[in-house]
Amino acid sequence: MSTDTTANPFETGNDENERLALEECVKRQRIDHRVSVLVMPAGRCEQAIKFARLGAQVTVTESPAMRGDVEGRILAAGLQDSIHFTPARLDDLPDGIPGEPYDIILLRRGICGMPYDQARDIVRQLLRKLRIGGKLYISILGLHTELGDGYADAGEPVNQRFTALAPGIAQKYGIDGPVCLYTERNLFMLLLEAGASVLRTLTTTYGNVKGVAVRV
């Protein structure tokens, strides 16, 4: 398994978790012709648009300040009937988000910006937003990426690992404040402790970790 730490740890190219989630959407669409998807955060809406074009009803979340930008992208794609914007932060999830319960939740980033125990609670909340049998696809920045170079908490247990990146790395990637970086085993345990059934975990070429879990 390669963990090339010289490449961009954010990996904006082909994403294995995204591919798996889209395949799951296609399979579910064939069975009941109604698939509900949550994408967090919305970003540039590329993933949400792909799901919507498969026929899914998609909810995207971002901070309230991003509403105009996100809704503009949805309108430009002509998918305003298929993609719904809800202002929400990962660390302050509302009790009810339109579209619940979901068949698929794609969590693209954000978990690293909080301590492990809080991240576990957030994952538990997200699982409750899934249908029984619904799947959570999660991506987390890895300890064995360039972000881990000079990371002071690298030797700490994951539940005590929450500190700022080395100054040069933090400046390079624009990451302010403390973060918790993960290994593949750390992600597996996070999902398990949150109450999920873990279907798979993987470490990417660049050292990030991804997982797929199901609500049981």
Is 100 in contact with 131 (CB distance < 8 Å)?
A: no
CATH of the domain at 93: 3.40.50.150
Q: Specify whether 120 is located in the same domain as 215.
A: yes
pLDDT surpassing 50 at residue 12:
no
Cβ atoms within 10 Å of 76's Cβ, excluding its own:
11
SS3 state at 129? coil
- The residue whose two tokens read 């202002």 is 87
Position 187 in a domain: yes
Sheet with 36-40: strands ordered across: 83-87, 57-62, 36-40, 102-107, 130-140, 209-214, 197-203
Model pLDDT, residue 130: 96
Please give the mean pLDDT across all residues of the chain.
90
Q: Specify whether 77 is located in the same domain as 126.
A: no
Model pLDDT, residue 104: 97
pLDDT surpassing 50 at residue 2:
no
157-212 tens-digit pLDDT: 999 999 999 999 999 999 999 999 999 999 999 999 999 999 999 998 889 999 99
Position 26 in a domain: no
| More confident: 59 or 92 | 59
Q: At 70, is the pLDDT very low, low, confident or very high (cuts 50, 70, 90)?
A: very high
Tokens of 14: 């082909």
H-only helix segments in the chain: 16-32, 46-53, 67-76, 116-128, 167-173, 184-193
Cα(161)–Cα(156) distance, rounded to whole angstroms? Answer: 6
pLDDT surpassing 50 at residue 6:
no
SS3 state at 149? coil
Q: Specify whether 92 is located in the same domain as 123.
A: no
Which structural domain range is residue 42 located in?
31-105
Q: Specify whether 216 is located in the same domain as 113.
A: yes
Q: Specify whether 155 is located in the same domain as 216.
A: yes
Cα(111)–Cα(122) distance, rounded to whole angstroms? Answer: 8
Tally of domains within the chain: 2
Position 15 in a domain: no
Q: Specify whether 96 is located in the same domain as 176.
A: no
Q: Specify whether 151 is located in the same domain as 203.
A: yes
